[in-house]
Structure 1
Amino acid sequence: MKKLSVIVTCTDRKMFVPPPALRVSSLPTGTVSSRLGTWTDRIHAETHRTPLSGLYKGEHWLQAHAVVDAAARAGFTAELWVVSAGLGLQPVTASFPTYAATFNAGHEDSVAPTGVDRRLWWRELQERMGTSTLAELGSRGPMLLVLSEVYGSVLTTELRELGQAGTDALLVGGTEDISGVQRVPANGSLRKALGGTLTGLNARMAVSWLAHCEDGVLTSPATTESWTRWVERSAHRETYNRTPMTDAEVKDFIRASAAEQPGVSRTRLHRLLRESGRACEQKRFANLYSETMGER
């Protein structure tokens, strides 16, 4: 069977509580490079390690494994990789200590407050710790990437390099179209057809795409056409008599959703809340988000 590299974002939910030293919030102030140097030294010094396949938990991670199973049914031998703000790009067979790091700008364990610094952190993290790059994986065979908005933004440079490599590559989610990489944007109107919550939507979309791949070519015209026809039949624009929420309920939603989806944007969180049938006016949500996550 043809090899397929499956790349997914990590999740804030982990099986073990990180020690204080392996929380980004514990790093001293300084430049991105100096803070990253301290971080990688701490990661390397920690002796208690777990295979990444057993480190993460939650719906997103369960659905990541469902993508691997769907790839096998489509005739691929899938290898699962994780994009991590604390570890770089790693195969899930690799072992690392539990940690707390995210690209979410408002999170207490955010690696950097700005997009420029987050991309700098990622580039230097990859140089110090990354096992591979997207382009290197692409040279080995087709690739399926399931990325959140913020992670897609941070990886823009690597995605563009992948696009230039001429690899058969599909991006589900992300934040923008990349030349040479076929993209399927997140589509909330498919939630009813796919089931589950919006947290696992991108991964469920990837599973569905693979179900339409019957010719062994990930982004073939036949697969694309089959998927497009299914979307046209299945998309359901949900309308709600939305339930009002208290400030405390909105804050609880923000904390829980941000933990499930590291790096998710405020706009995306508000959309998730509304699509779940609950109500919070946009300006009020922005203020509560700032109070909860510290984004200014």
Structure 2
Amino acid sequence: MSQATAMEHELHVVVTCANRKRHPVPQNLRLQGIRHKQLGARFDTWIRQLSTSQAEEVSADQLYGGEHWQVARTLGQHAAAGGRTAATWVCSAGYGLVPITAPLRPYAATFTFGHPDSVGGTAESVQRWWDHQSNWQGPVAGSPRSLASLAAQAPGAHLLVVLSAMYLRACARDLAALAEHLGQSEQLTIISVGGSAPRELREFVLPADGHLQTVVGGTLGALNVRLAARLLQTAPNTPPNRQAFADGLSQLRLQAGQRPVFQRTPMTDEQIRAFILERVTEHSTHTAMLRQLRSSGLACEQRRFAQLFAATVRSR
């Protein structure tokens, strides 16, 4: 997307990519296969493999799958229903910041800790990986490669950033730099349910929580984008600033009921490992498998499950 195109939109929506792909991922485009311990060397190898792969490219909106993505890819339409012109961007651990129309090869990389294809295991490492992505040309020549450069190209536009907690942390430094390019702080709105936002970004984050699932429906994994879809249609034909979105959220909160409390059976580490080994496939993620476990009436804390999942997959 060129600079002129970026400036044509009054709103830019940035969404988390999806781990699920609708096209087969080649083995050499799985980050777990790169054994370099030094982050810079891993990144250079990753980009070389992305750039030389013979895998067929597909536009980002057609690459990803799952409930989250089925909603995310329609956010531009929801904005239009609210009388707004919007461009959608994807925050990808494999490619960095790309427009939703960017040609991408199927890949496996994530900012989520504990996953076999994770880019790193600390906040610092995932932020450094995003910095490297921002300095790479990427798949679309001339397209902004960081959130800060997107804001610099379109200083009068509003940005609605809809990211999971881990992806928000990976982009935290970039978002802090983005804020410096805005004419008004109200131009930036962040939706990120399910984690604690970095301190420097908290003023931009809407006070949304899991209770809103009772209003917008769907699973918790798609709550961020479902909230964005609903808010994009509120107060039509008004500037899409943080106050307008906050007012819309207040209305949704009035409608929210109590989420059901589930009584689940705790499990030992050995029981959890056995559960994972019985069901794991090459495409499994710890988040999807944790949902399976909990839907079976069993209990495990998310971080503990992620650690056990990673250790179990490595030892297979």
**What's the TM-score, normalizing by structure 2?**
0.78
Residues 206-257 of structure 1 show CA distances to partners (whole Å, capped at 9, x for unaligned) of: 112222233421225455234313313324343334467773557869x866
Q: Tell me, yes or no, if the aligned pair for 1:15 and 1:55 is still in contact at 8 Å.
A: yes
2: distance between equivalents of 1:222 and 1:94?
A: 30
2:196 and 2:63 map into 1 onto residues whose CA distance is 27
Cα distance in structure 2, aligned partners of 1:241 and 1:110: 32
25, 34, 43: which one aligns with 1:18: 25
1:143–1:169 Cα contact (<8 Å) kept: yes
* Equivalent in the alignment of 1:60: 68
* Structure 1 pair 287–198 and aligned structure 2 pair: CA distance change class (3 A): closer
**Aligned: 1:85 with 2:80:** no
Match of 1:137 in 2: 150
Residue 106 of structure 2 aligns with an amino acid whose one-letter code is T
> Could you tell me how far apart the structure 2 residues matched to 1:257 and 1:213 are?
38
Question: Which secondary structure state, in structure 2, belongs to the residue aligned with residue 206 of structure 1?
Answer: helix
**SS of residue matched to 1:80:** strand
On the 8 A contact 1:189/1:238 being kept in 2, the answer is no
Equivalent of 2:249 in 227, 247, 250: 227
Does structure 1 conserve the Cα–Cα contact (< 8 Å) formed by 2:113 and 2:120? yes
> Which residue pairs with 1:292 in the alignment?
309
Give, as a single letter, the amino acid of the residue that structure 1 aligns with 2:88: L
For residues 152 and 191 of structure 1, what CA distance do their matches in structure 2 show?
20
User: Does 231-240 or 66-75 show the bigger shift?
Assistant: 231-240
Shift of the 250–68 alpha-carbon distance from structure 1 to 2, 3 Å rule, reads farther
Match of 1:162 in 2: 178
**Considering only aligned residues, what root-mean-square deviation do their CA atoms show, in Å?**
3.2
What are the residue-to-residue correspondences of 1:186-225 with 2, within 5 Å?
A: 186-219=208-241, 221-225=243-247
Alpha-carbon distance in 2 for matches of 1:5, 1:260: 29
Structure 1, 63-72 or 129-138: larger mean CA deviation: 129-138
- Alignment match of 1:39 (pick from 32, 35, 46): 46
For 2:5, the equivalent position in structure 1 comes to none
Shift in CA distance, 7/286, structure 1 to aligned 2, threshold 3 Å = closer
For the 8 Å contact 2:115–2:285, the answer to whether it is kept is no
| Shift in Å, 1:170 | 1.1
**Which structure 1 residue ranges, 5 or more long, are not aligned?**
262-268
232-241 vs 12-21, greater mean Cα deviation: 232-241
More off after superposition, 206-215 vs 187-196:
206-215
* Counterpart position of 2:299: 280
Secondary structure class of the residue paired with 2:11: strand
Distance 1:222 1:25 in 2: 42
1:109 equivalent among 81, 93, 117: 117
Mapped partners of 1:180, 1:219: distance in 2 = 16
**Contact 1:162–1:181 (Cα < 8 Å) also in 2:** no
Q: Which range moves more in the overlay, 133-142 or 233-242?
A: 233-242
Conservation of the 8 A alpha-carbon contact between 2:214 and 2:259: no
Q: Distance in 2 between matches of 1:185 and 1:21?
A: 41
Cα gap change, 1:84 to 1:185, in 2 (>3 Å)? farther
Aligned amino acid, residue 88 of structure 1:
G
- Describe the SS at the equivalent of 1:294: helix
How far apart are the structure 1 equivalents of 2:137 and 2:293? 36
Task: Look up the SS of the partner of 1:184 in the other structure.
Answer: coil
Query: What is the number of equivalent residue pairs in this alignment?
Result: 285
Runs of 4+ in 1 over 6 A off after TM superposition: 243-246
